[in-house]
Amino acid sequence: MRVIVGIPSYNNADTIGYVVRQAAEGLKKYFGGGLIINSDGGSKDGTREVVMKTPVPEGVEVRSLVYKWPIPGKGSAMKEVLEIAREEGADAVVFVDSDLRSITPEWIYKFAKPIEEGYHFVAPLYLRHKYDGTITNNIAYPMTASLYGYNVRQPIGGDFGISAELIDTYLGDEEIWKSDVARFGVDIFLTTTAIAEGFKVIQTALGVKIHDPKDPAASLGPMFNQVVGTLFMLMQKYEDKWKNVRDIKPVPVFGEMEVREPEPVKVSLDLLKERARNLFEENKEILEKALSKETFEEVKEALRTFDFDDVLWSHVLFDGAVAYKNGILKNAEPLVPLYFAKTADFVEKTKDMTTEEAEKLVLKRAETFLKEKDYLLERW
């Protein structure tokens, strides 16, 4: 089986050497060798030099390139890898993030082996701290599960296994790569497309994820816009696939999950609240048009108390999707303050919980979104 590992990067000199070494060992140990492609966005910190200097076992080839797509971003980097994989006749592509500190050689096996067994798309399943992955927990997971009916817990996890057949589907639509899919929208695009196009999907158990997490209040605004904008765009493309979905199916898991408490992630609760209120004032006018009257009034109250329940939150996202479809929202940015408010609510409610306890609330959120789907359908 010919396996290619793709590592998109941008200024990751501190962490990428370790990722390359683990990936190379995994390729050698489990597949007799293979190719690692580092697709870089023009790093200024010597990332590519680190990649090329990293010692790898015999039978493993390493390439580092600066991708040549007009839109800089993670998606463009991954597209470059997919195109090379197609040219090289790869059976599987494994993508891993360049800031991973918890990757082991086994990760390569865990992403590629299910493809050898007939699956097309392998999503990561890791234990993440309750405050790591707030866009996943608040938006990408409950929206994907309730819309498409597949319980993929990490739809924007960043690390994936992809079959040769699926590569052709991803590369089939040149236009889509000119959107936010070229940036951080790529992960939700990969997952949604695999599910909606009827490919065989599995999750792979990876244990704890340790990487460079981001404080949601400080740095996740642009990522939010790109992920949510792409999610809304795909809702239009695949509306015939999600409209009649009425239950959430379990998705099989490859391997066993070891349970332990992940490293803590810092969240600035006061900053989240402050930014939620300030940005809401800035976006008030457009939000009043985008949200239903009732939702808008409830949101104003939620910003006063930071008690932001899942029913209201589902209505915010469903209204947002409809407003995006109708051209009222040109992008998802006006929803950022409400995401900050929802995240603050989650931090407040879970501050005394373990990650495992907080996880139960996230799983319940997807069920709530499913129950509220009629609200979306009426407005769609």
Instruction: Supply the pLDDT for residue 266.
Output: 84
Average pLDDT, the chain: 95
Residue 209, pLDDT score: 84
The answer to whether residues 217 and 271 touch, using CB atoms and an 8 Å cutoff, is yes
Q: What is the pLDDT of residues 62-112, one digit of tens each?
A: 999 998 888 889 999 999 999 999 999 999 999 999 998 899 999 999 999
Which DSSP symbol is given to 264? P
Domain positions in the chain are: 3-254, 269-379
Count of CB atoms situated within 10 Å of the CB of 378: 9
147/141 Cα distance (integer angstroms) = 10
Predicted pLDDT of residue 96: 97
C-alpha to C-alpha distances, 223 to 13, 36, 165, 285, 336, nearest whole angstrom: 22, 26, 28, 23, 10
Percent of the chain with pLDDT over 70: 98
Helix (H, G, I), strand (E, B) or coil at 207: strand
Residue-wise pLDDT for 289-339, tens only, equals 999 999 999 999 999 999 999 999 999 999 999 999 999 999 999 999 999
- C-alpha 12 chain-centroid distance: 19
pTM, two decimal places: 0.96
- Distance separating alpha carbons of residues 265 and 218, to the nearest angstrom: 13
Residue 183 has a pLDDT of 94
Per-residue model confidence as pLDDT tens digits over 185-213: 999 999 999 999 999 999 999 998 887 76
How distant, in Å, are the alpha carbons of 32, 33, 44, 94, 191 from that of 3? 10, 8, 29, 7, 20
Burial class (CB in 10 A: 0-12, 13-18, 19+), 64: buried
| Crossing angle between the packed helical segments 310-325 and 221-237, to the nearest 10 degrees | 70
pLDDT of 146 above 60: yes
Cα 249 → chain centroid: 20
Given a cut of 90, is residue 259 above it in pLDDT? no
- For residue 211, count other CB atoms closer than 10 A to its CB: 20
Helix (H) or strand (E) holding 370: helix 355-371
DSSP letters, 106-161, are: HHHHHHHHHHHTT-SEEEEEEE--TTS-HHIIIIIHHHHHHHH-B--S-TT-S-EE
Top-level class of domain 3-254? alpha beta
